[in-house]
Chains A and B, each alone.
Chain A
Amino acid sequence: SAVISQKPSRDICQRGTSLTIQCQVDSQVTMMFWYRQQPGQSLTLIATANQGSEATYESGFVIDKFPISRPNLTFSTLTVSNMSPEDSSIYLCSVDDPLSEKLFFGSGTQLSVL
């Protein structure tokens, strides 16, 4: 299975600031995904990040709020912009392992916005 490194693992941020979360994979993957996991809620897909094209956002998520970069096949970033307390959540990077075609997750970023 793919090994996914995500950082930071946790952060406490002030309202109105932005945080960039990094996701590094140990092998080349076509599709990388960003999820949000709010307390007591299902994992919710934010967007799909494909190398060489703009990310595809799910309903309720917009690029201005969650800009995503995918500069190569092993790396992606998600920025949470102009944060508010409602953005406090766990953010997870995941990849489709090309060999098993199964979805694997990083360890997540626990974000708290004051």
Chain B
Amino acid sequence: QKEVEQDPGPLSVPEGAIVSLNCTYSNSAFQYFMWYRQYSRKGPELLMYTYSSGNKEDGRFTAQVDKSSKYISLFIRDSQPSDSATYLCAMSASGNTPLVFGKGTRLSVIA
């Protein structure tokens, strides 16, 4: 079993839809959870950063962490064509240990 599992998609939704992106993980030591957005031919851009369990909201984006289930989610409300990108989850056990990434989910928001 890989440390981090993420469905690669592709996921196609109509503009305005609520998007749910998910990752599961196996390492119970993970404490730091991140979501990156990567546009084509660009480097990953940090979108959300969460420590331990709980929810974090930033505009149209909400990150959820459920450590008991080893499951994290990113919700995008009122999705826009500009949200079309690959979304990568990443996590680490501490601030000094390397991030472990999911494979990324390719999202297309259709106008």
Contacts and interface: CB of A to CB of B under 8 A. Distances in A.
Interface of A: 1, 4, 6, 9, 33, 40-45, 48, 58, 92, 94, 101-108, 110
A104 B44 CA distance: 8
B98 interface: yes
Interface residues of B, number: 21
A45 B34 CA distance: 16
A102 B8 CA distance: 24
Contacts of A1: 46
11 contacts: A4-B43, A40-B8, A43-B101, A44-B101, A45-B98, A102-B46, A104-B46, A105-B36, A105-B44, A106-B43, A110-B41
B102 A42 contact: yes
B103 interface: yes
Contact of A43 (B41, B44, B45, B95): B44
B4 interface: yes
A106 B44 CA distance: 8
A107 B42 contact: yes
Interface string B14-48: 00000000000000000000101000011111100
B99 interface: yes
B107 interface: no
A38 B64 CA distance: 28
B90 to A, nearest CB: 8
Contacts of B101: 42-44
A100 B104 CA distance: 24
